[in-house]
Amino acid sequence: MNPPTLPALLARGPWAPDAVEARWRTDPYEPSAEQATAADEAIAALRERGSPSHDGFAARLAGHRVDPDGRLILELQPVRWALRLGEDACDSLSALCVTRDHEGRWLAGRRASWLASWAGQWALGAGGAVDPQENPMDTLVRELREEWSVEPERVTGEALIALPGRMTMFVGVAWLPAGAQVVPDHEHDAYAWWPADPADWPAEAHQQLRRMAALLA
Task: List average pLDDT for each run of 10 residues in the chain, which is 217 residues long.
Answer: 69 97 97 93 84 85 97 98 92 97 97 80 95 98 98 98 94 97 94 96 93 86
8-216 fold: Nucleoside Triphosphate Pyrophosphohydrolase (3.90.79)
pLDDT tens sequence across 32-66: 999 999 999 988 888 887 776 678 999 999 999 99
pLDDT tens sequence across 169-187: 999 999 999 999 999 999 8
For β-strands 92-100 and 167-175, DSSP reports them as: parallel
What residues does each domain of the chain span?
A: 8-216
Instruction: Tell me the three state secondary structure of residue 136.
Output: helix
Handedness of CA 177, 101, 8, 70 (dihedral sign): positive
Q: Give the C-alpha separation, 75 to 127, whole Å.
A: 20
**Residue 193 to residues 123, 140, 142, 150, 186, Cα–Cα distance (Å):** 12, 19, 21, 15, 18
